[in-house]
Amino acid sequence: MEITLNGHHTLIVAALVMLAGHWLVFRIRFLSAFNIPEPVAGGLLAAFIITLLNAATGLTLRLDTDLQTTFMLMFFASIGLSADFTRLKEGGKPLVMLLALVSVFIVVQNAIGVGLAALLGLKPLIGLVVGSITLTGGHGTAGAWGPVLEAKYGIAGATTLGIATATFGLVFGGLIGGPVARHLIRKQKRAPLPQTHARTGIDAISGSPRHEQAGANEEDKRLTFELFDQPRLITAYAAIETLAMFAACLSSADLLGRWTHGTAVELPTFIWALASGVVIRNVLTHVFHFQMFDRAIDVLGNTSLSLFLAIALVSLRLWELADLAGPVSIILAVQVVTIMLYATYITYHFMGSDYDAAVVAAGHCGFGLGATPTAIANMQAVTDRFGPSYKAYLVVPLVGAFFVDLVNAAILQVFTQIPFFQ
């Protein structure tokens, strides 16, 4: 038996899932401690309920995919519209170095995923799902690539596997960052701050002294969708203006996708949406000196991602993962060990082998397996105990929030075009 919901009903279900997720995260400490997004918490609960109903009655639920696709494209357009390349200059050499290190690690992450998948008798492209698609990319990238891998490459259950793997990454990204940083700091013989100093002198969110943080540039501390409750003052005109840019990104993505279909430069539509956002942002900002309203972009992008995730999770078919559980667990275990070693011996060394580098290594563990808020939580745990790190709090959010998505999209496109992996 299959129940099909139209667009209106799909939106209602997504809203209910998000409300349920909000209640779960508020009530269950584990979920809030590991930065599990509210739509993921509520969506997984709904997916488990539907799985039980399927086992008992054969029920399946099909939601409006057009609405899901629109929200997904809006999210990736928001990443592009946020990618002002002048911020590379603000971060300086440390930001460029971290972006280079992260780019190399994405290749390593995918090589491990693809190689182990082949050795374990799985399709090599499944290794990308248990690679940077989900671990570096997170839930948004997992949900975007899943349908592409299913429809174009025949990877059954790619979306379901991607969401499950991305959730695993959030949890373990939060577990390993602190221990990695403490190991590195212990080698430096740096003493922790007195507890009263750590609690009163260091801000809980940014790790910066509160008197200096007050005058800091607010936009430099913007996070991603999981912390969408931050205050943002948006006017109706700013919202309409921003929606017009989103519409331009989606229209451009649709046209480019149609024009390049079947050619050597064919790309998934969401990558065109992201690229269109990058072009629109930097042309408007640097050619026409247009003042972008980043808060409006954040709110609309974050809302779109939350609704997209809620719809995607309710549509999951968890029963499709049974045969993959064992091999995937092995690959994920190797991925966790790999990023711990990479952050300890590569990220730490090339970022300067000092205290700031140790905090950056903790952040890399966070967004290399999970998401930017996981990276921030890792760094906060370290700086609350050992003192602030201004460099880490500048470069990690800039790389993790949007630059890494640009690089990840390009690298994944290269991997999917290699004949061996298909």
C-alpha to C-alpha distance for 361 and 184, rounded to whole angstroms: 9
Bridge partners of residue 209, in order along the sequence: 202
Cα angle 147, 149, 153 (rounded to 5 degrees) comes to: 130
Give residue 223's pLDDT.
41
Give percent of the chain with pLDDT exceeding 70: 85
Sorting pLDDT into bands at 50, 70 and 90, what band is 217?
Answer: very low
Domain ranges for the chain, please list them: 68-154+164-299+321-421
Closest CA to 134 of 173, 164, 103, 100: 164
Higher per-residue pLDDT: 100 or 381: 100
Give percent of the chain with pLDDT exceeding 90: 23
Closest CA to 98 of 384, 375, 334: 375
C-alpha to C-alpha distance for 231 and 250, rounded to whole angstroms: 27
Handedness of CA 152, 158, 159, 165 (dihedral sign): negative
pLDDT in tens, 350-370: 999 999 999 999 999 988 987
pLDDT in tens, 84-95: 777 767 667 888
C-alpha to C-alpha distance for 300 and 239, rounded to whole angstroms: 8
C-alpha to C-alpha distance for 21 and 42, rounded to whole angstroms: 4
Are 180 and 343 within 8 A, CB to CB? yes
Give residue 230's pLDDT.
52
Burial profile 140-159: b = 16 or more Cβ within 10 angstroms, e = fewer: bbbbbbbbbbeeebebebbb
Mean pLDDT of 261-276: 81
Sorting pLDDT into bands at 50, 70 and 90, what band is 83?
Answer: confident
pLDDT in tens, 288-320: 888 888 888 888 988 888 888 788 778 777 666
Higher per-residue pLDDT: 12 or 79: 12
Ramachandran category for residue 175: left, alpha or beta (phi over 0 → left; psi -120 to 50 → alpha): alpha
Give residue 29's pLDDT.
83
Global pTM value: 0.71
pLDDT in tens, 105-156: 999 999 999 999 999 988 888 899 999 999 998 887 888 888 888 888 888 8
Are 107 and 411 within 8 A, CB to CB? yes
The one-letter code for the residue type at 314 is V
Give residue 345's pLDDT.
95
pLDDT in tens, 325-346: 788 889 999 999 999 999 999 9
